[in-house]
Amino acid sequence: MRLKDCHNYHDFRKLAKRRLPSPIFNYIDGGADDETTQRRNSDSFEACDLVPNVLRGVKDIDLSVTVMGQKLAMPLYCSPTALQRLFHHQGERAVAAAAAKHGTMFGVSSLGTVSLEELRRKHDNPQVYQFYFHKDRGLNSAMMQRAKEAGVEVMMLTVDSITGGNRERDLRTGFSIPFRLTLGGIMQFAIKPMWGINYVTHESFSLPQLDEHIDMDGSAMSIGRYFSEMLDPAMNWDDVAKMVQEWDGQFCLKGIMSVEDAKKAVDIGCTGIILSNHGGRQLDGSRAPFDQLKEIVDAVGDKIDVIMDSGIQRGSHVVKALALGAKAVGGGRCYLYPLAAAGQAGVDRALSLMKAEIQRDMMLMGCQSVSDLHEGMLRFR
């Protein structure tokens, strides 16, 4: 199986599974506890049917959207995800370059493996910086100042990860950063030698956004301890309101799921919210963002940009979310599997295929632009 044989999300997943050592593949692939929420995220779209209109004269399709002041050429963007150079040695460099080619937004995580400054220098498409709330308030301010000086357009605070989810696949393989693998996990690396060759022949793995706080040699702090010791579970709305004022620009909260929280985000001056359950990796049993989208759009959609992620596998999923009122849709695994499979070429192919799907679905729906989509085109079973 080669990249040219990949035509959809499931093909990229299959190729990534063949190329990655099992502990790393399962880190991408897995969710929390029984992974019920992870499955529901995608299944939720299947309970919604599209009702197309015909004879609408849709020769030319405009997929552009504006979200949090950023003009995107397509309504799908690459959500920030951690540890990307662990999946392929190009990491965030591949994702940023592919996103720039397609004129869409990409995100850099606090746990990213390429510095946000390097990516900002190389690409001028909109960049999001995703970070966590630390007990050290000075560190929070320093991270925001660093992003502002780098020219990042959108600040994204993740609010559903004050502690790590219970990811049992990682417990079984011993996956952690730094590596502390079980014997079975070590054997899985041994049978995928090309990954190891690439890992040791390219630049050393690091977390440049947090390199002063996490020692990758294992002598100071692991990723697990970072979540348990440095992040502040006492974070509250007053804390976030101060950060919004300090940033004084486009500021969104990722992990909003309730109407009550969406309204509070409006009240403290956020310009965007992202409906997300972290791809089913945090609270298992939580509601799928697509199922919650209409309720939140109805409540605050005229006051703040509502975005959603989690479970996106098809262009039709994006179209359904846009029809319900989402301003844009984020994807994580939908570009991580392609990244793991083939680096920049994989991400480029995945975005090309998704763009073609969205465009084709728009034509078949009788819609010339994203603004033509509306709730009346959907029926729920």
Q: Known catalytic residues?
A: 278
Structure tokens that stand for 229 in this block: 């010791």
**Are 251 and 244 within 8 A, CB to CB?**
yes
Alpha helices in the chain (DSSP H): 9-19, 22-29, 36-46, 84-87, 92-101, 116-122, 137-150, 168-173, 183-190, 193-201, 223-225, 237-247, 259-267, 289-300, 315-323, 333-365
Helix (H) or strand (E) holding 254: strand 250-256
Cα separation of 179 and 146, whole Å?
29
Question: Which candidate, 281, 242, 214, places its Cα nearest to that of 39?
Answer: 281
- How far apart are the C-alpha atoms of 37 and 48, rounded to whole Å? 18
Indicate the angle between helix axes 333-365 and 315-323, nearest 10 degrees: 70
Cα 68 from chain centroid (whole Å): 16
